[in-house]
Structure 1
C-alpha cells in the first residue's frame, strides 16, 4: 500500500474496487461528435476532449513521470517467475497465487498488477491477461514512477476511434476494448448538475479524487434515453453551458 501511494496508483486501485452503471445512450450519443483525426468532440461552440488534467483529477494518475515506450523495461536485472501459461483471468490468478496466510511475494504483486492493468484499467477486449503489460507491471512493482496518464489517455483515444468506426459502419459493439469506464466518468463530470446520487454505491469518503464522486452519480430515468436522444441532449446542454459561462 505504501508503494502504491509512492508511485501514485493507490487511488486508482481503490477506485477500481467500485462498480458503475453503464449508460450506453450517453456514450453513444456523445460519440456522434467525435473526430478521430483531432481526437476532439466537435460541437457548436468549438472542441472539447478529455485531457491529462482530467485523467489526473478523476484517477489521480500523475501527468508527469517516466516515459513508457515499447523499449521501456526493468533495469534491476531481477528475474521473476510469473506463470503466463494460461492467460484467462481465473486460471492466471490460480496459477500465480501464493500460500494462504503467507506474505505477498514479488511474483504475486506483479501478477496482481498485470491482472489489474489488463482487466480493470485498460480493459482488454480478449477478456484475459494481456502479456504485453507485463514489463509495465514489473516496473510498477519495483517502484518506478511512470507516466501512466499519457498511456491511459492514448488508449482512451484509440478506444473512442475504434467505437466510432464501428458505429459508422453500423456494426454491433459487443465487447469494447479500452477504458470506456473513464469516458463515462468524464461525461458525468460535464453533466454533473443533471445527475443524482446513487444511494447503493459505497466508497472512500475522504478521497480527494473526483472519480469516487462521479461513480456515485447516475442519470435520472427521464434522461436514460437512446443514442439519438442523448446526442441532441449532449449538444444542447454543452451549448447552454458555454453560453452561460460566457455571459458570466
Structure 2
C-alpha cells in the first residue's frame, strides 16, 4: 500500500461525500494507492489549531512533580514467577513478555504524555500525529483484537474464591496458589489473575486483587473475547486521565499499562537511541542452558517485536528535570528526518511471532486471519474500558480512529478533520 502523505489533488467535496463512509479510500490517480478514511472535514485547519492548543503542555509546563508514584505499579519480575510460568507451560506471546523484567524509562513516558490529544487519542508530535494502534497490539503482544464477543456480557460471578489481602504481596500469593502435580483449573485461574493484574493492566493497588478474575476464568475456559482491544482502551484511558490531571496541575495517579506505552515509544525512537538491530537483540531465557562448548547462555534471540522493545537500550532512567527537557525538545522540534519512523514493522519477517498475522498475507484471500486482523486495525471502533470488578468502577469506552495515524499502517495520510463525526 502507498505511503504517500498527501491526499490526491483530485479530491473534492463531491468525491468526499461519495466516499465518506469508506475506510480504505482509493486514489483517483493511482490504482494501487489507498488513503485511510473515513474522510473528515476537507478544511481541518481550524480543528487542528484548536486541538493543538488543548494538549497538556500548552496549559502546564512539564514538571516532575506531576509524576510522583505514577509508575509504582510497573510490572517488575517476582522471583518465583518464572517457576510458576514454566509449570503452567505458558507459551503465549503476551505471557512471554512477563520474564523480560524491563527497566522503566520514566522521562520518555512522562514527556510523551504532554503531547497527548484526548480528542484524537493520539500524540501530536512535530513530525505528525502518532498513536498506539490495534496493529501495534497484535505485533507487540499477539492478543486477540478481532473477536466480536462483548466482554461486558461475560459472567461476572466468580467460580473460585481467592484470598488476596494480608497474604504477603505477590510473593505470598504465588506461595499460596502455585500447586504441585497436575495444574487444576483453580490454579490456572490464579496464575492468569496475577498476569492480568500485575503484568498486563498493572492495577493501582500494586498487589493481589480479584478485579480481573472473571476475565481469568473466561480465558481458562477458552472463551474468545478481544483482550487486545481492552488493553488498548485502558492505555488510552490512562493517557486521557493523565493529560486531564496535568492540565489542572494535579498529580497523575498510580497504575495502568504504562509498559505498553514504553514499548510503543521504543519503536518510535528506535533510530534515535542506541538500540541493537532486530536480529542482534536478545531476550532473557526462562532458565539458562549450557552450550556444547560449555558456555552458559542466559539469553536467546527475540521472537517478536514485543520482546525486542522489552529489552532495554540502557538500564532504565528515573525521572529528572534534565531528561524531561531533553525528550520534550526532541518531540517538540522533531527528530532528524533519517531518524523518523512511521511504519515500525519493516523487519517483521525476522520474527516468528505473531504466528497468526503476516503482512505479506493481507492481500491473499486464502489467508483470512491476516486479512481480518489488518481490516480490524484500520477500521474505526470503540474500545471497552472499566469492565473489571472493584469499587468505583464505571463501564465506559474510548474511541479508536486510526485515520490520524495512517502512515503507521502503511497507508496514505488524509488531512485530519472532525473525525469523531465519522464514528
Common topology (TM > 0.5): yes
Correspondence 1:13 to 2:90: no
Following superposition, the deviation at residue 172 of structure 1 comes to 3.9
Correspondence 1:167 to 2:246: yes
Larger mean CA deviation between 194-203 and 140-149 belongs to 194-203
Correspondence 1:216 to 2:333: no
Higher strand share: 2
- Provide the residue aligned with 2:140 in structure 1: 58
SS of the aligned residue for 1:202 comes to strand
Taking structure 2 as the reference length, what is the TM-score of the superposition?
A: 0.49
Larger mean CA deviation between 142-151 and 39-48 belongs to 39-48
- Provide the residue aligned with 2:121 in structure 1: 39
1:111 to 183, 190, 198: 190
Distance in 2 of aligned mates of 1:157 and 1:230: 21
The answer on whether the counterparts of 2:164 and 2:210 sit within 8 Å (CA) in structure 1 is no
- Provide the residue aligned with 1:179 in structure 2: 257
SS of the aligned residue for 2:212 comes to helix
Query: CA 1:97/1:244 → structure 2, altered by over 3 Å: closer, same or farther?
Result: closer
The answer on whether the counterparts of 1:3 and 1:143 sit within 8 Å (CA) in structure 2 is no
Query: CA 1:241/1:51 → structure 2, altered by over 3 Å: closer, same or farther?
Result: farther
Residues 188-234 of structure 1: CA distance to partner in whole angstroms, max 9, x if unpaired?
Answer: 0011112335889625745542011112242599xx95222211112
Following superposition, the deviation at residue 152 of structure 1 comes to 0.3
1:188 to 266, 280, 287: 266
Higher helix share: 1
Q: How many residues in Structure 1 have an aligned counterpart in Structure 2? A: 235
Correspondence 1:232 to 2:310: no
Structure 1 unpaired stretches of 5+: none
Following superposition, the deviation at residue 94 of structure 1 comes to 4.0
Distance in 2 of aligned mates of 1:238 and 1:190: 10
Residues 67-115 of structure 1: CA distance to partner in whole angstroms, max 9, x if unpaired?
Answer: 34322138xx9x84332463753454444343x3x21111000011011
Correspondence 1:129 to 2:226: no
Following superposition, the deviation at residue 161 of structure 1 comes to 1.5
Larger mean CA deviation between 124-133 and 32-41 belongs to 124-133
- Provide the residue aligned with 2:177 in structure 1: 96
Distance in 2 of aligned mates of 1:3 and 1:219: 30
The answer on whether the counterparts of 2:272 and 2:335 sit within 8 Å (CA) in structure 1 is no
Distance in 1 of aligned mates of 2:311 and 2:173: 31
Structure 2 unpaired stretches of 5+: 1-85, 286-298, 343-406, 408-423
Looking at CA atoms only, which structure, 1 or 2, has the larger radius of gyration?
Answer: 2
Following superposition, the deviation at residue 160 of structure 1 comes to 1.1
SS of the aligned residue for 1:158 comes to helix
Distance in 2 of aligned mates of 1:237 and 1:217: 23
Taking structure 1 as the reference length, what is the TM-score of the superposition?
A: 0.79
